[in-house]
Structure 1
């Protein structure tokens, strides 16, 4: 899999400042200096293994998860009705004219073979058929022209309020369960719309969806209230960047701020519970999400599809080991030899856009999400932790990192080259196009160009512009590659292609 990854393993003994994998105590490691000896230098003259942000990181314990069947999980993901409302089958063709026709997913059968990959066709109790969303709405993206299940959908467009779609539609006569489910679907979309509209294509409202859904529900019964129980804001809308599923098997927590702890089924089901309004309905969903959770954990990153300079990548492996591995782990041909420390990096260390972490922490506008969740039915399985021991962001594993542009938890940086050089990041930018075959192999990201400020652009152009001065869209922080020279960054980028 990784032709130069063994170089990383051999370097482990030389880099004693790299922390052990989470859950493995190492009382003999002195992290006060972070030095492995002091005289090892890179080609650019920079000290290797001389400490880094991992010294401030707080490890998150790896939970014991319920046993699940990955094959059953894949089947449930693409057949079950965990959203609980949608569009009647008879009307779905008209809906596609508005929503856009998606590519079907190979291997599906029956009417599921006739709809796009992000929809499931289900039969309700009265025999009526309903087309419901599935997780691939956000978690199936394109790279080099190929649809990849588990890759975040960087071209998803949530820039139009869901209310604009829903409110003009008439209610259907409730002569079937499917019609009644459509009326509920329309009402929920209208409730989500004002507080979840993104500024730019690719920005994802998943965090806001979770906050809005719980704000309308009783934590114990899950009963829906048309009036929110907690205050919401159209000004404090948090964008997210959906991470790839193939990292799930290594991660101890979900969400960029590491807030999903213990068994993650609770947070996963809540995030997809658009119309799941009772414990009786949610319980069976939580049960089969054990299988879905097992499926996600079974996924592996795709291989880099283009040429790799093996010698340059080997040089990059050494640079990675002593500048990046402390937070992001080590990689090897044998997965059993890999390490990943599962660290939560404090905000004042990581420095990336603080909005999500601070708004969900103690004293933040959305801090109620922690209290609601931990007191709720879902809190029986999962726990939400937003500020213990500190607000921050988790340093993710980097398997398949080359495929996952744009970068940071809010998708604010278009390439890895810019992740490694904070001084070169654009304040406003736009992708040149949304053709996934147009990939920048040198910078590892989508080709982009500078853009005018979002507020100054014509309304028709705004959704294509990423403006890092907007609330929640900042691209600062993670300056840990700034000390590298151009040659070192080039080698590091080549190594990342092997992951």
Structure 2
């Protein structure tokens, strides 16, 4: 840790203010290529732009805001691509504005509590981080439910702040905004300015307090845990003392097989899908009331979109992992892949599981779930930042007398416990107003049995690897550029590399040359380690998970990972296949 922190200079601390990802280009005319992942066109169009309830900015301001350094609109395709959002054409049913994947319009009614949001807003949705695009020789291959491997959320929000601050300080810029919105009279412009100042203050405070880090995360990575916890325990309840520095950037996980898996999240800490999905929405700027004095005055109320969060979960349950497109990336050597499969079964399948998967025993609802490996961090040896990210204790403030269970009435409680208590109470409040049948409630909770088991501590989840080829960079923190380097001794991995936007179908990962992306990832910085998951001639444990592989064995494993799933559009059955189809134990 000391070595990593010594590398930080003043320039590193200020880099977040200036970073602007390279590799941007004008929106290409050629349509994106979609692989067979079992979704219809309507499925992916809805998923790309449905509203989770996020309210980053009022709709009229976002639609008419200019970038900081010119008159180009912030929402333009060119600016969206500059920060790695996936641009797409408008469609009248789900995306009439032509937003990039991951932005959506949220329509709110009247203000439900003092200071709450109302009217139309623009915010983030699942596809901003959980939709991938692989660029290769001028082709764009969309990976539905994949990893947002190009989106730099930190730089994007920084640019949004700069655009708003520039509009406040430049009278001509503000006048152009007012003209586009239709605020033509002095009174209308005054009202707009007051409203704009309030929004700009929120964005600036988030960017300069909550989002500040000693060095930028770069594309494809964000400290999701740190940001969600900070928003729930610091920003929304106005308790700045609870802030934790978000020092554990991770890449977004892919979503196929997530509803079918026994545990989700990188640390294997969630089972209930609506809890997982609403918590993610809380992090991406859903409006939540955590400042009222009591639930009767609106405390724990939110604009949670439970119906669509349930719909997206059900839709993800029929999402197939993507199959390697041989016509684009080259033929698979089937003999080599066969040899790689034998190696995978020997060295990898005990953690990662392999089709047709090993399943849990049926629960009282008759549902089985895909077993996932829960490997102690002390064994696998990958970056431990996720387990050290948060301050140990947090103030409860005005939440004190309305917290659940043993948290109630206490001034200071463990940060993790407060986070769980607050997020669970927000969820319960959102669900309490809905009229749902027993079957609808079971579906909402993914047919999980309550009380839920306590998650293991200090473990990383190892899920099946079908479709993993389409999700670079690798490891939970995106610190390994390709699959080949996942199979070498950790000390031999590239320690600094550029996160490119061009796909490398040979080593199966990202272009690291700097030609298609200029963010340099330094694995010696805090949270960026690419240690662990090492194949070498050493005793197992402490980061060593397998023997030293010959080079031909590594390439055989890469070929096998390219070859799965072996069937295009193969959906893992939710709840498990019929008993006669289950693999023998």
* TM-score, normalization by structure 2: 0.60
The unaligned stretches of length 5 or more in structure 2 are 1-40, 65-72, 111-117, 169-173, 179-187, 290-297, 361-367, 396-412, 432-444, 535-544, 565-585
Deviation sequence 1:245-294 (CA, Å, 0-9, x none)? 11313323332112223343442332334433366753652343122221
Say whether residues 1:230 and 2:242 are aligned partners: yes
Q: Does the CA contact (< 8 Å) of 1:85 and 1:185 recur in 2?
A: no
Counterpart of 1:141?
A: 132
Q: How many residues align?
A: 408
2:93 aligned residue: 109
Distance 2:556 2:103 in 1: 42
Partner in structure 1 of residue 376 of structure 2: 346
Checking the alignment, whether the CA contact within 8 Å between 2:55 and 2:106 is kept in structure 1 is no
Q: Which residue of 1 aligns with 2:467?
A: 400
Distance, in Å, in 2 between the alignment partners of 1:81 and 1:181 is 23
Mapped contact 2:258–2:317 kept (Cα < 8 A): yes
Closer, same or farther: CA 248–407 of 1 in aligned 2, 3 Å: same
In the alignment, which of 428, 444, 449 is matched to residue 508 of structure 2? 444
- Residue 88 of structure 1 and its aligned partner are, at CA, apart by 2.5
- Of the two structures, which has the highest relative contact order with CA contacts closer than 8 Å and spacing of 6 or more? 1
Equivalent residues of 1:415, 1:445 under 8 A apart: yes
1:254 to 261, 264, 289: 264
Distance (whole Å) between structure 1 residues aligned to residue 451 and residue 58 of structure 2: 32
What's the CA shift for 1:332? 4.5
Q: Which blocks of at least 5 consecutive residues in structure 1 are unaligned?
A: 1-69, 218-223, 452-460
Q: 1:120 aligns with which of 84, 100, 104?
A: 104
- In the other structure, the counterpart of 2:316 is 296
Q: 1:75 to 1:199 in 2, by over 3 A?
A: closer
1:4-403 matches, cutoff 5 A: 75=46, 78-80=49-51, 82-89=53-60, 91-93=62-64, 94-97=73-76, 99-100=79-80, 102-104=86-88, 107=91, 109=93, 112-125=96-109, 129-144=120-135, 145-160=140-155, 162=157, 165-166=160-161, 168=165, 169-170=167-168, 183-184=198-199, 187-188=202-203, 190-196=205-211, 197=213, 198-216=216-234, 224-228=236-240, 230-233=242-245, 236-263=246-273, 264-277=276-289, 282=302, 284-306=304-326, 307-332=331-356, 340-359=370-389, 368-376=415-423, 377-378=425-426, 380=428, 388-403=455-470
Question: Relative to structure 1, is the Cα distance of residues 427 and 216 closer, same or farther in structure 2, using a 3 angstrom cutoff?
Answer: same
Residue 100 of structure 1: SS of its match in structure 2? helix
Of the structure 1 ranges 170-179 and 250-259, higher mean CA displacement relative to structure 2 is found in: 170-179
Aligned partner of residue 121 in structure 1, secondary structure: strand
Q: Which residue of 2 aligns with 1:476?
A: 531
Closer, same or farther: CA 292–175 of 1 in aligned 2, 3 Å:
farther
Alignment-derived partner of residue 65 in structure 1: none
Structure 1: distance between partners of 2:262 and 2:200: 33
Q: Distance in 1 between matches of 2:469 and 2:322?
A: 10
1:449 & 1:400 partners in 2: Cα distance?
25
CA distance in 2, matches of 1:387, 1:361: 21
Distance in 2 (CA, whole Å) between partners of 1:364 and 1:325 is 40
1:209 Cα deviation (Å)?
2.0
Contact preservation (8 Å) 2:52, 2:308: no
**CA RMSD, aligned part only?**
4.2
- Contact 2:249/2:477 (CA < 8 Å) preserved in 1? yes
- In 2, the alpha carbon distance for the partners of 1:308 and 1:242 equals 27
Judged with a 3 Å threshold, the aligned counterparts in structure 2 of structure 1 residues 185 and 72 are, in CA distance, closer, same or farther, namely: farther
Deviation of 1:434 after TM superposition, in Å, equals 1.8
Relative to structure 1, the CA distance from residue 237 to residue 449 in structure 2 (aligned partners, 3 Å threshold; closer, same or farther) is: same
Aligned position for 1:26: none
Distance 1:497 1:86, change over 3 A: same
> How far is the alpha carbon of 1:85 from its aligned partner?
3.7
Q: How many Å apart are 1:108 and its aligned residue?
A: 5.0
Separation in structure 1 between the aligned mates of residue 98 and residue 480 of structure 2, nearest angstrom: 36
